[in-house]
Amino acid sequence: MSDPLPLPPLRQALPDLASWVAFFSATEIPVLAETADHLELMRANEDAADANNLGEMMGSDPLMSLKVLAHVAQQRAGQASSHVQTDAETVIAALVLMGITPFFRAFGPQAVVEERLALQPWALEGLQRVLRRADRAAHMALSFAVHRLDPDAPVIHSAALLHDFAEMLLWVHAPELAQEMRRRQLANPQLRSAEVQRQVLNIELADLERALLREWHLPELLQNIIDDTREHDPQVQCVKLAIRVARHTADGWDNEAVPDDVCEIADLLKLGNQATLNLLHEFD
């Protein structure tokens, strides 16, 4: 997915979901400086690069992961045969499908988040908060999946890492709106995320994510696991509960919602509550 030209920050909410989808489809996705630096080091020694070491390097950067998965999915969706399956559900799988030389050809030097937000350190801090939560959630979701012996554990890890990508993009491209949502929730902790999103953005971020995943033709399995509305699917539960507990424990384990999270995770993993809590601390 080649980057379009960067657009100026969005300061006013767009009117509807279609407008938001069009906006994010037309904007670049910058990546973390560490990712961009490592990518250039590996480009300089392409013969030593392979899908595994490249994928592991990018696997902790949700923004770069999203770019690679979307690029491969859109390429495959545009191929002539209607029977081609867009089944690159992890970054490593996407790199295997692309090949190393075509990857470096498609992804030149990357725009960098830290540079884009250099004059807005509060926005970079907001993004980093979401990135830390995503990293913790991905690790927990993978651990849940491994405990359940789920053969799709790597896809579950990928889904948890990308689960809040719309919020990440908001901090990059509309930081004032993201900050306003955070301000309202800090002022009123009882205010539900979906409600504050409708108030500030005119949409819910979950709807935007589903629409963008369809727009970018990401694999159906990945779309399904990210979709919280499929609440009875154990794979969705792995991701949903990992995201929830990562959010509730971002500032410590004394949040009053944690016992309810533990109960639901215990049910998912078929464990007692205390054993589940012990396991969560080990996972974390």
End position of a domain, from candidates 112, 135, 157: 112
* Shared domain check, 121 and 107: no
Residue 5: predicted pLDDT: 55
* Shared domain check, 192 and 83: no
pLDDT digits (tens, 9 = 90+) for 199-223: 999 999 999 999 999 999 998 888 8
Residue 21: predicted pLDDT: 97
What is the number of structural domains in the chain?
2
Task: Tell how far CA 159 is from the center of its chain.
Answer: 7
Question: Residue 130 — very low, low, confident or very high, per pLDDT cuts 50/70/90?
Answer: very high
* Shared domain check, 145 and 96: no
Question: Residue 1 — very low, low, confident or very high, per pLDDT cuts 50/70/90?
Answer: very low
User: Which domain, by its residues, includes 77?
Assistant: 25-112
Q: What is the pTM of this model?
A: 0.90
* Shared domain check, 262 and 210: yes
Average model confidence (pLDDT) for the chain? Answer: 91
* Shared domain check, 172 and 108: no
Instruction: Name the residue among 66, 69, 68, 85 with its Cα closest to residue 77.
Output: 85
Residue 8: predicted pLDDT: 78
Does 137 map to a domain?
yes
For residues 103-132, give the mean pLDDT: 95
Does 65 map to a domain?
yes
* Shared domain check, 154 and 69: no
End position of a domain, from candidates 112, 145, 175: 112
* Shared domain check, 148 and 42: no
pLDDT at 82 over 60: no
Instruction: Name the residue among 152, 160, 155, 143 with its Cα closest to residue 265.
Output: 143
* Shared domain check, 237 and 138: yes
| Separation of alpha carbons 184 and 178, rounded Å | 10
Residue 2: predicted pLDDT: 47
